[in-house]
Structure 1
Amino acid sequence: MIDWSWKISRVYPGLDPHAKSGDDYPARVYVVAGNPFFPSTLRSLVYVWANGPVSAAHRGPNGTPFYPDPYTTQAEIVALRQGAAGAGSWVSEHRDLRTDLARAFGPGHDVIGAVAVMSDCDDAHGHGEAWYGDIHFEKRDPPDSGL
């Protein structure tokens, strides 16, 4: 499990998140899985606060949209938040990272090599701010045995 909190000042409306020219997000959390000695094995799961509604290649739990990164086939974007709702407030996230990685890339992508955060607005030609709380991992609860 991965947990964190984030807060944004605003979204950047009018960008197409599926195009390189619209690949700006007020907040992102990258999780890189794979073996750094073999770059072809590296995959990035990119949790984003999207600027608005996005279409999905496939959906995760609770309908969370997953879609390809417009720059590389080695990354998949997960739009946890879509639009301005919640901007200006701290929002907490709690994700089953192993399940999300398997949904995005198939089984076997569960060795985490790096976690990074990013905020950018170069394509939007604007200004934005984002704040990130502590990012931490916790062991997933075992399945209920029914006992």
Structure 2
Amino acid sequence: MRKWIFVLLSFTLCASSLAVTNLTTLNEHGIGQWQAKEFSGKSIYTVGEYKGQMALKAISQNSASGLVLEKKIDLLNTPYLSWGWLVEKKLSNLDEITKNGDDFIARIYVVIDGGFFIWNTRSLNYVWSSNQAKDAVWDNAFAGSSVKMLAVRGIDSQSGVWYQEKRNVYDDLIATFGDKGSDKANRKAYQYIDIIAIMTDTDNCGRDAESYYGDVIFSDL
């Protein structure tokens, strides 16, 4: 539970928005902009070439730590989030909807920081689920409805294969947290995200995972 308390409460804002924003370039400068955040043990993140492309390698051994970038993104200008990922080791027989199973071989998530109005803080997690069906959505077992889990990849996805993803984050926020009833109300609620994070974690189940991430990019197309 500590990981979600930290993510939802402890960040400040940093304003920036571009038509195309490459958040990880996977070179000596790119990943250095991200901060390591440890929740329960330390997952290991290193950059190198893997199966034909530069990648951020993530190894979790009964641990939960991630890489976090505080960056304000205007989703009306750049709503599309694109990235690549590959997993080599899944977490079989794990119920990710429960607290004991709240672990993911790969995830990229965004946070809307509510500031002093903590009840307005929201986090949408794009996860590679070991056991849920692709496109499944559920509330986080620890944080409840303020954190939504969306299985971009699911139980039938293959290990050892690069997948390229593209999501309209603005539309996904409306779909998962609810339409506010008008374009104006939706813009007020969902136009900006304040934090982007990457995490591979296995602290609840106490097992190992190995995953790889490609560049993370926001764009207008």
Question: Which TM-score band applies after superposition, normalised by the shorter structure?
Answer: 0.7 to 0.9
Amino acid at match of 1:70: A
SS in 2 for 1:74: strand
Kindly state the Cα deviation for residue 34 of structure 1 after the two structures are TM-superposed: 3.7
Is 1:15–1:22's contact at 8 Å kept on the other side of the alignment?
Answer: yes
For 1:53, the equivalent position in structure 2 comes to 132
Q: Does residue 183 of structure 2 align to residue 102 of structure 1?
A: no
Kindly state the Cα deviation for residue 83 of structure 1 after the two structures are TM-superposed: 2.1
d(CA) in 2 for partners of 1:105 and 1:34?
14
Alignment match of 1:125 (pick from 206, 210, 213): 206
Q: Normalising to structure 1: TM-score of the pair?
A: 0.82
For 2:34, the equivalent position in structure 1 comes to none
Q: Normalising to structure 2: TM-score of the pair?
A: 0.56
For 2:83, the equivalent position in structure 1 comes to 4
For 2:136, the equivalent position in structure 1 comes to 65
Kindly state the Cα deviation for residue 94 of structure 1 after the two structures are TM-superposed: 0.4
d(CA) in 1 for partners of 2:108 and 2:149?
10
- Count of residue pairs brought into register by the alignment: 132
Kindly state the Cα deviation for residue 41 of structure 1 after the two structures are TM-superposed: 1.5
Q: Which moved more, 1:108-117 or 1:29-38?
A: 29-38
Amino acid at match of 1:81: R
d(CA) in 2 for partners of 1:26 and 1:84?
14
**Structure 1: 5+ residue stretches without partners:** 55-62, 141-147
Alignment match of 2:197 (pick from 81, 96, 116): 116
Larger Rg belongs to? 2
Kindly state the Cα deviation for residue 37 of structure 1 after the two structures are TM-superposed: 4.4
Q: Does residue 149 of structure 2 align to residue 77 of structure 1?
A: yes
Amino acid at match of 2:168: D
SS in 1 for 2:208: coil
Compute the RMSD of aligned alpha carbons. Answer: 1.7
**Structure 2: 5+ residue stretches without partners:** 1-79, 179-185
Kindly state the Cα deviation for residue 44 of structure 1 after the two structures are TM-superposed: 0.3
Is 1:5–1:90's contact at 8 Å kept on the other side of the alignment?
Answer: yes
Percent identical among aligned pairs is 31
